[in-house]
Structure 1
Amino acid sequence: MLNKFVMSMASLRVLSGTIEICAALLMLRLNELDRALLINSSLALVGPIILITTTTIGLVGMSDKLSMGKIAWVIGGVACILIGVIKK
């Protein structure tokens, strides 16, 4: 039997990958640079949202096994990743 948290996390990653592939195919179909750039910019929202959601699901699933200190470290790490990606 699959763990429901693992299944949720994997499903979100499959959804994210599907969105990425569909976006790439749409870029190829439209064959216009300005629209491809718009589609690519829209994808910049999907990645962080999936990252935060899958991490949250994983933390909820492990909350009984982790101390508050370790959960704070994980949240801090995700925050650092997001700041590093967003800040230019």
Structure 2
Amino acid sequence: MAYTRREKNNWALFLLLLAGIVLGSFFGELAEGSTYFNWLNYGGTFGMNTPFNLNLGVILLEFKIAFDITIASLLGIAIAIFVYRKI
């Protein structure tokens, strides 16, 4: 039999990365008050500090995007990529 390469699903990668980010951030928040694991919540916020306002007269739109990157969320992303490569 010939070996056929199985195509990996991009949606699976997206969902695994999203789960890794959410779970990593969750564990980082849990570790915030811990004595030994408080380093997991170390990180920074990147993005716009003030929202961009678009006043159209009838409707006012505000746009803001910010990323809160912590060590725990980076570990979650690394674990998600590892799991994706194994499936």
TM range (shorter): 0.3 to 0.5
Tell me which structure has the larger Cα radius of gyration: 2
> More strand per residue: 1 or 2?
2
With the length of structure 1 as denominator, give the TM-score of the two structures. Answer: 0.38
> More helix per residue: 1 or 2?
1
